[in-house]
Amino acid sequence: MKVLITGAKGQLGRGLVASAPAGTELHAVDIDECDLTDANAIRDLVQKVSPDIIINAAAYTAVDKAESDEETARAINAGAVKALCEAHHGKLVHVSTDFVFDGQSSRAYQPEHPRAPISVYGRTKAEGEDHLRASDVLVRTAWVYTAGGANFVRTMLRLMCEKPALNVVADQIGAPTWAPGLAATIWGLLSKDASGTFHHSDAGTASWYDFAVAIQEEALALGLLDAAIPITPITTADYPTPAARPAFSLLDSSKTRALLQDGHTHWRINLRQMLREEKTLG
C-alpha cells in the first residue's frame, strides 16, 4: 500500500509516520516539498507519487490569524482538498475539526449533525469537507496535542514555569486528543476500508481550565514542574480573541469505536503518557 501523507511535520503527521503499518510505502511531505496553496503543485505531486491512498493531515490551523488571512486559510483548508480529489482517484482521508459546529448543542456532536461554523477557520474547514467523495474518509477531531509539538499542553508548561499565576477559560467544553491515538484511529479506519464521516477525540469531558489544572497536577507528579501556581477559571468574555470559539465542541466517537472495537482511552491517561514522553525529550 502506497500512502501519501501531507502535513507530515505536524503533530498528527508525525504520529502517522511513526505508527504506519508494516509494509506501508510512505511518501510523507510538508510545505517545503509541496505548497498546498498551489493546485498545480498538488497535481504534480500526486502524479509523481501515484499513491493508493492520501492522508491529508495538513491544515491552516491559526484560528485567530485566519480572521484576517481568509484567502490563505481557504486555499489550504478547502482549495487543497479540492485539488487532491481532482488529482487522485483513490481514497482520500481528510482530517477536519470541531470548529465546523457552532457550539450550541447540549450533547456530543454526532458525525451527521448539521454544521454551522462561527469562524473563518471553521467555515474554510467545512468547505474542505464538501469536496470529499462518497468513497473518502472524513475524520473530525479536536484539541490535538503531542510531545514536542506546538500545543496547549506545552504552552501551559512554559507559562507555569514563567508566571506566578494563570487565568484559563472555563466555559469552552470539549475533549483533548492525543495525536498518536488519532493516528492509530486513522490507520484503523483504513484497515477496515471505511468510508464516510467519523469522529475521534479522547474519552471524557473537560474545559480548558480543567485541562490546565490536570496538566499542572500531572507535570508536578513527574517532576516537570518545581511548584504549583494558582490557576483561576475565567469566561470567554474575559479573554476576547479575534475568532469566535464553539462553547461546546464535544465529539461523539461511538461510531468510530464500534467499527474499530478498540475501546476509548480517557484524555487524562493520554495526557500522562504525553508528559512522560515530554520528560524524555528534555
CB contact at 8 A, 27 and 51: yes
**CA 98 to mean position of chain CA atoms:** 9
Please work out, in degrees rounded to the nearest 5, the angle formed at the alpha carbon of residue 33 by the alpha carbons of 30 and 37.
Answer: 75
**pLDDT tens readout for residues 196-255:** 999 999 999 999 999 999 999 999 999 999 999 999 999 999 999 999 999 999 999 999
What is the average pLDDT value for the chain, to the nearest integer?
97
Q: How confident is the model at residue 260 (pLDDT cuts 50, 70, 90)?
A: very high
Amino acid sitting at position 67:
E
Q: Annotated catalytic residue: which of 109, 121, 145, 209? A: 121
28: phi then psi, degrees, rounded to nearest 5: -105, 120
Count how many residues are written for the chain: 282
3-class DSSP state of 244 = coil
Residue of 82, 194, 87 lying closest to 129 (CA atoms): 82
Report the interhelical angle of 267-281 vs 152-162 (nearest 10°): 60
141: phi then psi, degrees, rounded to nearest 5: -145, 180
Tell me the percentage of the chain whose pLDDT exceeds 70. Answer: 100
Q: Which domain range does residue 187 map to?
A: 2-281
- Domain count within the chain: 1
243: phi then psi, degrees, rounded to nearest 5: -100, 140
Q: What is the mean pLDDT of residues 176-183?
A: 98
Q: Cell digits for 111?
A: 458525525
Spatial distance between the Cα atoms of 223 and 157, rounded to a whole number of angstroms: 12
Please say if 121 is a catalytic residue.
yes
Spatial distance between the Cα atoms of 240 and 216, rounded to a whole number of angstroms: 24
CB atoms within 10 A of CB 220: 14
Spatial distance between the Cα atoms of 183 and 48, rounded to a whole number of angstroms: 25
Spatial distance between the Cα atoms of 51 and 172, rounded to a whole number of angstroms: 39
Q: Cell digits for 230?
A: 494558582
Q: How confident is the model at residue 26 (pLDDT cuts 50, 70, 90)?
A: very high
**pLDDT tens readout for residues 118-154:** 999 999 999 999 999 999 999 999 999 999 999 999 9
CATH number of the domain residue 101 falls in = 3.40.50.720
Amino acid sitting at position 42:
I
pLDDT score of 282 more than 90: no
Give bridge partners of residue 199 from the DSSP assignment. Answer: 140
CB contact at 8 A, 199 and 253: yes
- Cell 477559560 belongs to 169
Residue of 237, 198, 224, 241 lying closest to 277 (CA atoms): 224
CB contact at 8 A, 81 and 41: no
Tell me the percentage of the chain whose pLDDT exceeds 90. Answer: 98
Q: How confident is the model at residue 263 (pLDDT cuts 50, 70, 90)?
A: confident
CB contact at 8 A, 83 and 47: no
**pLDDT tens readout for residues 202-217:** 999 999 999 999 999 9
**CA distances (Å), origin 247, targets 3, 106, 109, 177, 203:** 36, 10, 13, 17, 18
